[in-house]
Structure 1
């Protein structure tokens, strides 16, 4: 989806992104807790000062919290831990993703028009041009950018979610805005930065869980197991699985017997756009002293003979030690 993404984050940009995301989680969770408390979402009954719209939102947020695993006690008091985490996560990541889209000229207003954040801000000041209720509720460019991002990825950021009807206090919203805008723009043009974002979001929680030595349950599991697989890991896995199979189909017996080194074999096996730079070969010697090259990972002779017969069970190939075809 993102264009101009060729290189990966260097150490400096990765460190900047890590610091920003860690701070963002702290701020976003404080903001979510304060906003939910203002509506009395965890309280047994709605406060008298809430209007009908706020009461309705409170009810929907309580229902969402229960869906996420928050407990409603016998006295109708309801826990907020899971709801706070979800609200914080969705608000921050919608902002961040909107910035990714904007920086890659993909924040689409319609089929043909990509907007900048400045243009979003101008449109937000003109409620008469709003096309639906979600856009009419926007008072800032960031809110409109978030709505546009939701429309582009409705399965990820649901436009009808009560989470996005919840407004953060101005000081919290400004702090999150500063964190997004403070990121170097090169960050938004790398191929791996989105992958790092999730791991950085979980970093402090992972460290806390590991230090606590608590038994890992469903709530703790994502933080300690769902880690970002760096591009070189995925490339190494693919090159020495599918790439090794491909080399075995493509190279001739003469190639295996007469190649001078691994690079010669990689050059012969590769095709434009697929350099197979991580594919490894070993030279074996039989009892008679005859030497022959072979893929280090094996030849996968039990696999089908044509690509059309392969069925990938893990399309993302995101696990660094398991790949199933």
Structure 2
């Protein structure tokens, strides 16, 4: 059953809100690791290895540092958001243990977090570490099910950062605000893909460039085509 206009609107609002939260959070995390918009500064020893990995990943994005940082931030938040959406679809459809959804019976945690804290009691007093470990296990499970699909690659340079607990809780609340029946429709992922760059498309069009930059082409052409249209075109 296709998603209704109202359901698509709900998805759009949720995706844009999550993107806003993650943009602010990942920018703060880059700063926390000494990656400022205009330069790199020294950080305490316990953050130096992550800084090195981030610096290496960012350097591959563009010759200009500010542009490279912006591109990396966009790709990193896009990767994390898509992973969460895929996890939520998978858990609603019974493919993996619930990881994103929280339940009162699990102490307002996910079932995976509850199970992890039972197995490792020391994590019960470290909710952020518990949430991150639950996500890592879920990502690993999805890698096995999807045969090292690009989105869940363990060596992805865009998966170095994870949001801190307050931001992650906000994102979960937004996603849990979507009706559960919406998550049973796999086309949700296609619409989310389209909506994630809808504001960016508006900004690009306002500029009215005759020849868009290479980075502008993906968001300009990022549209989802429903299954029945694809089938009709192929036939």
TM-score bucket of the superposed structures, by smaller chain: 0.7 to 0.9
**2:56 corresponds to 1:63:** yes
Residue among 78, 87, 92 paired with 1:98: 87
Task: Indicate the residue corresponding to 1:231 in structure 2.
Answer: 227
Structure 2 CA distance for partners of 1:125 and 1:238, relative to 1, 3 Å: same
Task: Indicate the residue corresponding to 1:221 in structure 2.
Answer: 217
Number of aligned positions between the proteins: 212
1:204-245 per-position Cα deviation (integer Å, ceiling 9, x unaligned): 111111011133111100010131112232122123xxxxxx
1:29-69 per-position Cα deviation (integer Å, ceiling 9, x unaligned): 1111111111012433422xx224x2111111111112233
Deviation at 1:126, TM superposition (A): 4.8
Deviation at 1:124, TM superposition (A): 3.1
Mapped partners of 2:7, 2:189: distance in 1: 13
Structure 2 CA distance for partners of 1:32 and 1:24, relative to 1, 3 Å: same
**2:77 corresponds to 1:80:** no
Does structure 1 conserve the Cα–Cα contact (< 8 Å) formed by 2:201 and 2:220? yes
Compute the RMSD of aligned alpha carbons. Answer: 2.4
**2:130 corresponds to 1:139:** yes
1:152-191 per-position Cα deviation (integer Å, ceiling 9, x unaligned): 4432222233543423233221111111111111112124
Residue among 189, 197, 207 paired with 2:202: 207
Structure 2 CA distance for partners of 1:60 and 1:222, relative to 1, 3 Å: same
**2:115 corresponds to 1:123:** yes
Mapped partners of 1:160, 1:69: distance in 2: 20
Deviation at 1:193, TM superposition (A): 1.5
Does structure 1 conserve the Cα–Cα contact (< 8 Å) formed by 2:60 and 2:68? no
Mapping 1:246-285, distance limit 5 Å = none
Task: Indicate the residue corresponding to 1:46 in structure 2.
Answer: 42
Deviation at 1:147, TM superposition (A): 4.2
Secondary structure at the aligned position of 2:219 is classed as helix
Mapped partners of 2:186, 2:9: distance in 1: 16
Mapped partners of 1:171, 1:203: distance in 2: 26
Mapped partners of 1:235, 1:219: distance in 2: 30
Secondary structure at the aligned position of 2:152 is classed as coil
Does structure 2 conserve the Cα–Cα contact (< 8 Å) formed by 1:31 and 1:88? no
Does structure 2 conserve the Cα–Cα contact (< 8 Å) formed by 1:68 and 1:82? yes
- Unaligned 5+ residue runs, structure 1? 1-6, 108-114, 130-136, 240-325
Residue among 155, 159, 162 paired with 2:154: 159
Q: Which has the higher contact order (CA 8 A, sep 6+)?
A: 2
Structure 2 CA distance for partners of 1:235 and 1:227, relative to 1, 3 Å: same
Task: Indicate the residue corresponding to 2:7 in structure 1.
Answer: 13
Does structure 1 conserve the Cα–Cα contact (< 8 Å) formed by 2:80 and 2:159? yes
Mapped partners of 1:14, 1:165: distance in 2: 31
